[in-house]
Amino acid sequence: MTRDFAAMMVPKILTQKKLASTVRRLKSQGKRIAFTNGTFDILHLGHVTYLQKARAAGDVLIVGVNTDRSVKTYKDPNRPVNPQQDRLKVLTALACVDYAVLFNDPTPLKLIRKIQPAVLVKGADWAIKDIVGAREVLAKGGKVKRIPLVKGRSSTRVIKILKLA
């Protein structure tokens, strides 16, 4: 069995229940887990560049994805444009995303506590003191990595352009 075929045999979309056993397995293999989170609606160059850099920060990248319900609590009530299952499938189609898991809470703190990543990744537009889970990751000896965003690229920008068309 080739490595690529073997990788396809492991589902990349994790349930909350499957997350714990996957994290245990990865850590027992000595893998450094990088974690990031977001909505990832209308995937664009900024997202892909960010996720590639997040993946480079560890051996494995787990992405927490806001549920549709949680997105509506902090963005426009008409968001997300793409439903959560579509966003999960598009994200996990990227080679740089090893796993993705939905979360329904306002923040990913419960996920971060469950995963205890070696590296917590967030956009450089966030100050470390404002990054949810940074204190917990640093206290466990992990790192927080802030990644510069690609200028002029955002789902909100795409939506505004489409409304003008």
Which domains are seen in the chain, by residue range? 3-164 (3.40.50.620)
- The answer to which of 1-5, 15-19, 150-154 has the lowest mean pLDDT is 1-5
Mean pLDDT, the chain, integer: 90
Is the bond preceding residue 80 a cis peptide, omega within 30 degrees?
yes
Residue 15: which of 78, 90, 77, 84 has the closest Cα? 84
- What pTM does this model have? 0.88
Is the distance from CB of 101 to CB of 19 less than 8 angstroms? yes
Give the model's pLDDT for residue 13.
96
Residue 114: HSE in the Cβ half-sphere, 13 Å Cα cutoff: 17
DSSP 70: H
Which alpha helices (DSSP H) does the chain contain, by range? 3-9, 16-28, 45-56, 68-74, 84-92, 109-115, 134-139, 155-164
For 109-158, the pLDDT digits (tens) are 999 999 999 999 999 999 999 999 999 999 999 999 999 988 877 766 77
Instruction: Return the biggest CA–CA distance within the chain.
Output: 51
Q: How far apart are the first and last CA of the chain?
A: 49
